[in-house]
Structure 1
Amino acid sequence: MTTVVILGSRLNIVRAAVDLGVRALWIRPPGATAQVLPDAVEVRECDLADYPALRSIVLGADRVAGVFSLTEAGLLATARLNTELVLPTNSPATVRALLDKDLMRQAMADRGLPVVRHRLVTGLADLLDFHAEVGPLILKPAGGTGSQDVFRIEDAESARAAMAAVTRPMIAEELLTGREISVEAFSADGRHYPIGFTDKTFLADGSFIETGHTMPAAVDDPDQVVAAVTDFLDALGVTQGPTHTELMLTPAGPRIIESHTRVGGAGIADLVGLAYGVDLPRLTVGVPLGLVDPPTALPAPIGGAASRAVLPPPGVITDIDVPDLPAQVFAALDCAVGDVIPPLRSGNDKKAGVVIAAGADAEAAARAAERAIALVKIVTS
C-alpha cells in the first residue's frame, strides 16, 4: 500500500489520507495527545526540528509517495524530505523565504511587486530612525506566527517598550491601513487556484491577535485580489499545495502582509468546507498523488461559515458548561477542568477552543457564532 508521511499534530490531514485509501505514517511531536486511529495509521514521535531524526524515519519507510504538513514547524522539513525523495514539492528555498519576512519581501522586490517599506532592525536607534523616516510602524519577528511579539509603533515610548520586550531579530514595516483579509488557495504544478476569501476579527484591545474568521468575505474587486496573490505566489516560487495569504485591502490596492504554505489555522479548513464545499486537507494529499483533481476556478460559495475563539479569563479552569447548541453550530474545545489558561499575548497562546457555525451567508454564520460563544461557559479561578 502507498504510504504518505504526515508531519505535525493536525488530525484532519491524517483522516484525509486514510479516506483516500493510503497508509499514513504520522510523525508527531513528543507528548502529543493520544488519538484513536485506524489501522492504516502508524504513529511515531519525533521533534520536528530534528531533521536528521526525521530523515532517518522517513527514508526508512516503505513506498513513500509524499510528505505533507499543515503545521508551521513541519513545513521546511516537508520540503527537504520531498526534495530528497524527488516528489512534488515547494522548494526548501521557497519555504524558507515564506518563513522569513525579510527574504519574502526581497523576493517580491526582485519581481517588481509592490512592497511595503520595511527594515530589519538591530536596536532601538535603528527603529527610531526608521520611524522618523516612515511614520507609524508594525514591529514583528522576522520569522514568527500567531501575532506573537507584534507591536504598533506610534512614538518613541512605544518603540522603547517594544524593543525592551523582544530578544529575536525583528522587522519593522510601514503601518498599512485598510481591511485585512486572507486568501485561501491551492497550487498544483505551478498553477494557482483561489479557493476563497476570509474576513477576520481581532481582540478589542487594539492588538493584532485574531479571535475569529468569517467566510466568504465580501471583496469589491476579487479579480484584483486574486491577481495580487497569484503574482506573489509566482514571485516566491510556490508550486504545490495549500497557501494562506494575508493581505491588507488599502486605498492603493491589495498589499501582501505574509503567506504560509499550509492551510490557515483556527479552523479555517472547516470554514472552507462549510462555505465553499472544498476539502483542503483532501486536496493537499490527493492532488500530488493523482487521486483528486485540483479546483479549476474560484468556487461559488454554498453558504456562510464563521469561527470565534472561546476566550475565558486567564487562570485554572474549574468548570465547563457547553449547552446544546443550535443546528449547524458546534464547539470544539481543547481544554479540561484543571487546565491553565494563560494571559492571551499572541495567537499561539493556548485558547479554550473555538465555536464554528454555518449559515445561509457570512452574516448569518457570524451572528450564529457570536450567539454560541455567549452560551459556552468556562469558569477559571
Structure 2
Amino acid sequence: MTRRALILVEGHRGSGLRYVQGAKRLGLHPITLSADPTQYDYLAAEGVEAIRLDTDNLDALIDECSRLHATYDIAGITGFSGDDESVYATVGKLCRHFDLPGPNPAAVEQCCDKFTQRQLLAGEGVPIPAYRLAANATDVESSAAEIGLPVVLKPAVGSGSSGVRLCRNVDELAEHTAYLLGGKHIWRSSPRILVEEFAEGPYYTVHTMGSEVIGIATGDSGLPPHFVFRGVAYPAELTDEEHKHIAEVSRSCLRALGLGWGPTNVELRWTKRGPVVIEVNPRLVGAPDPQLVQLAYGVDLITEHIKLATGDECDLRRKHWQTAATRSLLPDRDGILDWIDGVSRAAAVPGVAEVKMYIKPKTPIVRKGDYREKMGYVTAASPNLAQTERILQRAVDLISWSITPFPSLGE
C-alpha cells in the first residue's frame, strides 16, 4: 500500500516539530523540502526525510513533488512563512497545481503586502490606523506630518516586526528612515515604507480556522520604540459584547481579504474608537501560540490544520476552558551568551507546560527589535489568570543567564 505523505515546504524553529509529530500521529509520512534542511535541528532528531532544493523556485518544487508522487500518495502540502511570507503563497500555488486543499495564493500574496492589505481593509470599512506609503525620506516626513506624530514606520513587506519602530519625534523619524533606506535593513522587494498612525490601547490577537474564531488572547507588545512581545495570555478578559465586537471585526477582515481557508491570525488594538486592526497574517502564527490555544481550549490547531490540508474533517470544538499564558525570555544587552541555568528547574514547576530555549551558549546576541530577540519562552496553564501568572513568574525567576558584552572599539 502506498504511504500517504505530507509535504512541508521549509521548516519552523517553533512549530515545525509539532507539524512533524502531528503528521505522524495521523499516519502520514512527513517530507520537508528546504533550501537548507540543516537549519532545522528537529529534522535529524526525528529522522524526517528532508530534500534540499530552492524553495523560491516554484517549478523546482513542482518537479520534486511530481517525482515524490511516483513513490508516495501525496495527501497534502503545507509550509511555514518564517521571516518570508511568500513561502505560504507558494504553498497555495503548489496545492492548486496538484488539486489539493490549500490557501488561496492570490489572497495570501495581497495580504502579505501591508499597503495592499490596508487598501482592501479600508475599502470594506474595516477600522484601521491612518496610513501612507512612502518611497523616500521626503515622503516619510510629509506622511508623518499629515498623520501626526507619533507614527509607526514599517516595511510594506515583511514579518516578525522586522524593521518596525514607533517614532515619537522628528529625530526618531529621521533615524529610523535612515536605517530602513540606508542599507542596514534587508529588503525582499523594492524599498517601500508604510507610515501609520500609532493606535494606542490594549493589544489582542485572534486565531481563526476558516471563518470560525477559535480564541482571542491579550498580549504585552513590548517596550517602545520596538514591538517585541513579552507575553500573551488566553483567553483575553473581555465582556461578551467586547468579545463579539472583536470576533465580528476579525471576520470582516477575512471577507475583505478573500481569506476563508485554513488558519489566520488577526492583530488588533482596542482604541478610543473601539477595535482597530493592526495586521492580518494569512497563516498560523508560530510557537507558542498554537500550544497556548490547545492548553486553553483543547483545540490542536496544528493537527486540525493538517487534517484540513489533507482533505479530512476538522474538529474545532472546545474540549475545556482554562487560562494559558507565555513569557518571552529576552536579553538585556548585546554580546556573547556565556551560559544558561535553571531551565530544567523551571520546567519542573507545577503548572508549567513547556520551557523552550532557541539559543545555546556561545551564541552572539544582537538585538534588532524584532522576533529574533527572543531567546526562548515559558508557558503555563491553570484555572485562572492570576494563578497562571504566579506560575510563570516562579518559573522565569529560576532561569538565569550571562551575556558578555562585545568588546568596544579600540579595546
1:340 aligns with: 364
The answer to whether the 8 A contact 2:89-2:103 is kept is no
> Counterpart of 2:207 in structure 1: which amino acid?
E
Count matched residues. Answer: 373
Output one character per residue of 1:271-318: Cα deviation in whole Å (capped at 9) or x when no partner. Answer: 11111111011011112434342426xx48621111111123432222
User: Identity percentage over the alignment?
Assistant: 26
Distance 1:2 1:252, change over 3 A: same
> Counterpart of 2:64 in structure 1: which amino acid?
I
Unaligned runs of 5+ in 2: 182-190, 405-411
> 1:24: Cα distance to partner?
1.5
Unaligned runs of 5+ in 1: none
Output one character per residue of 1:113-134: Cα deviation in whole Å (capped at 9) or x when no partner. Answer: 3343211111222222222222
> Counterpart of 1:286 in structure 2: which amino acid?
K
Matched, 1:286 2:307: yes
Distance 1:124 1:310 in 2: 35
**TM-score when scaled to structure 1?**
0.91
After superposition, the CA RMSD in angstroms is 2.0
SS at match of 1:307: strand
> Counterpart of 1:226 in structure 2: which amino acid?
A
The answer to whether the 8 A contact 1:118-1:172 is kept is yes
SS at match of 1:368: helix
Q: Which aligned pairs between 1:250-329 and structure 2 lie closer than 5 A?
A: 250-295=271-316, 299=318, 302-312=321-331, 313-322=333-342, 323-325=344-346, 326-329=349-352
Runs of 4+ more than 6 Å apart? none
1:155 aligns with: 169
Matched, 1:22 2:43: no
Distance 1:91 1:293, change over 3 A: closer
Output one character per residue of 1:74-115: Cα deviation in whole Å (capped at 9) or x when no partner. Answer: 211111111111222222110111211111112223333334
Distance 1:97 1:51, change over 3 A: same
> 1:32: Cα distance to partner?
1.6
Distance 2:243 2:319 in 1: 12
1:183 aligns with: 206
**Which among 77, 91, 94 is matched to residue 104 of structure 2?**
91
Distance 1:29 1:301, change over 3 A: farther
1:166 aligns with: 180
> Counterpart of 1:245 in structure 2: which amino acid?
V
2:50 aligns with: 43
SS at match of 1:324: helix
Distance 2:76 2:8 in 1: 9
Output one character per residue of 1:159-207: Cα deviation in whole Å (capped at 9) or x when no partner. Answer: 21111110331111111121111001111xxxx1111111112333542
**Which among 13, 16, 30 is matched to residue 19 of structure 2?**
13
Distance 1:318 1:114, change over 3 A: closer
Distance 1:8 1:328 in 2: 33
**Which among 374, 377, 380 is matched to residue 397 of structure 2?**
374
Distance 1:354 1:115 in 2: 30
> Counterpart of 1:200 in structure 2: which amino acid?
G
The answer to whether the 8 A contact 2:326-2:377 is kept is yes
* Greater fraction of residues in helix: 2
Matched, 1:71 2:81: yes
SS at match of 2:56: coil
Distance 2:290 2:21 in 1: 13
Distance 1:175 1:350 in 2: 23
Distance 1:8 1:185, change over 3 A: same
Distance 1:99 1:16, change over 3 A: same
> 1:231: Cα distance to partner?
1.0
The answer to whether the 8 A contact 1:341-1:351 is kept is no
1:197 aligns with: 216
Distance 1:306 1:234, change over 3 A: same
**TM-score when scaled to structure 2?**
0.85
The answer to whether the 8 A contact 1:216-1:305 is kept is yes
The answer to whether the 8 A contact 1:200-1:212 is kept is yes
1:238 aligns with: 259
SS at match of 2:338: strand
2:6 aligns with: 4
The answer to whether the 8 A contact 1:13-1:70 is kept is no
SS at match of 1:213: strand
> 1:345: Cα distance to partner?
2.3
Distance 1:248 1:213 in 2: 14
> 1:370: Cα distance to partner?
2.5
Distance 1:239 1:87, change over 3 A: farther
